[in-house]
Structure 1
Amino acid sequence: MLVTKHVLLASTVHATPYYIVRGMRPGPVMFITSGVHGNETASMAAAQKLADDCATGRHVIQRGLLIIVPRVNQQAYAKKIRGKPDLNRTFPRRMSGKAKHPLAAAVFQLAREHRADWWLDLHEANGLSQLSSRVLGQTLITNPGSRTTPACRRVIKRMNRSIAIRDRHFNLKQHELPGSARTAASRRLQARSVTVETCWSLKRSTRIKYQTKIVHHFLREAGMS
């Protein structure tokens, strides 16, 4: 297994590190982004932990290629804000369309160059979806009719078995969000794309744990580890 560190948009105000983890055998390509919104720090910590664990050998990618961009929106992260404009509304909306922000364009181009089969976009949200269907906390989100849905249901089932407090259980939501990384990846790259949302009201260490476990479940779903 080989781990290399790179910089996206180097020498620009949008420069941000990313990692490429090459498995021991050929296999699928999984693209993981976090920090599209700069105030969702637990998801960023989970993505960075995965990169660090791969670099130190604590986690091994058996097959395929794993690309991790732990803090996409560095400017928003420095201010601990969601970001203006909202980067998750600036990814390509149409088959022939372009991204509306240079950072979204660079991230999307990186995924396209490596022909991503999977795209996990890690986020955080308000509320517990077990208590209200109107909130996004503790959900996995796919586009309607996505071929990723069966894998999401299996991951949710495994996660919920490990969570003793029922209010914290995960749910599946399905909707398109034009301009989001998830919908762009599904439409333009035909990737199995998922948005992961943990709930802000939970302890940060708990959110990091949930994000980490979900990513590991999807790596196994993809046959990569």
Structure 2
Amino acid sequence: MLVTKHTLAASSAHATPYYLVRGTKPGPVIMITSGVHGNETASMAAAQKLANDCMAGRRHVVRGLLIIIPRVNQKAHRNKNRGKPDLNRTFPRHISDKAKHPLASAVFRLARQYGPAWWLDLHEANGLSQRSSRVLGQTLITNPGSKAVPVCKRIIGRMNRSIPIRDRHFNLKQHELPGSARTAAARLLQSRSVTVETCWSLNRSDRIKYQTEIVHHFLREAGLF
């Protein structure tokens, strides 16, 4: 396994680190983004932990390529806010479109370069979806008809069996969000793209744990671990 650290949007106000983790055997490309919204800190911590674990040899990618951008929106993170404009509405919507923000453009250009089979975008949301179908906390979200649906269902089953408090169980949602990284990846790259949402009201350590476990499940399903 080879881990290298790079800079996305280098020499710009949006510069941010990313990591390439190469297995010793050929396999799929998996992209993980977090911090598209700068105040969703637990998801960023989980992504950075994965990068750190790979660099330290605590986690091994056996095959394929793993791309991790732990903190996409550095400016929003420094300002402790979601980000203005909302970066997750600025990704390309159609094949002929360009991203509406230079940072979204840099992220999507990297994705086009490697063509990920899977794209996991880590987020946090208000509310517990077990209590209300109108909220997004504790959900996996993918586009309607996505080939990711069977895998999402298996992972939700594993997660929920490990979580004793039913209110914290995960649900699957299927909808498009034009301008989001997830929908752009599905429409334009034919990636199996999934948004992972944990609930802000839970302890930060629990949110990091759930994000980490879900990512590991996806990487095992894809055959990287």
Which amino acid counterpart does residue 194 of structure 1 have in structure 2? V
Which amino acid counterpart does residue 92 of structure 1 have in structure 2? P
Partner of 1:151: 151
> Per-residue CA shift, 1:114-140, capped at 9, x if unaligned?
111100000000000000000000000
Q: TM-score, normalised to structure 1's length?
A: 1.00
- The CA deviation at 1:49 is 0.1
Matches within 5 A, 1:96-135: 96-135=96-135
Partner of 2:173: 173
Task: Describe the SS at the equivalent of 1:201.
Answer: coil
Partner of 2:219: 219
Task: Describe the SS at the equivalent of 2:99.
Answer: coil
Which amino acid counterpart does residue 91 of structure 2 have in structure 1? F
Q: TM-score, normalised to structure 2's length?
A: 1.00
Partner of 1:39: 39
Which amino acid counterpart does residue 74 of structure 1 have in structure 2? Q
Partner of 2:66: 66
**Cα distance between partner residues in 2 of 1:98 and 1:138:** 31
Partner of 2:24: 24
Ranges in structure 2 where 5+ consecutive residues have no aligned partner: none
- The CA deviation at 1:169 is 0.1
Partner of 2:197: 197
**Cα distance between partner residues in 2 of 1:35 and 1:25:** 30
Partner of 1:95: 95
Tell me, yes or no, if structure 1 residue 139 matches structure 2 residue 139: yes
**Cα distance between partner residues in 2 of 1:137 and 1:80:** 20
Which amino acid counterpart does residue 161 of structure 2 have in structure 1? R
Tell me, yes or no, if structure 1 residue 186 matches structure 2 residue 189: no
Which amino acid counterpart does residue 129 of structure 1 have in structure 2? S
> Per-residue CA shift, 1:171-199, capped at 9, x if unaligned?
00000000000000000000010000000
Paired-residue identity, %: 78
Task: Describe the SS at the equivalent of 1:105.
Answer: helix
Partner of 2:86: 86
Q: CA RMSD of the aligned region, Å?
A: 0.4
**Cα distance between partner residues in 2 of 1:162 and 1:33:** 25
Tell me, yes or no, if structure 1 residue 7 matches structure 2 residue 7: yes
**Cα distance between partner residues in 1 of 2:102 and 2:23:** 30
Aligned residues: 225
- The CA deviation at 1:11 is 1.2
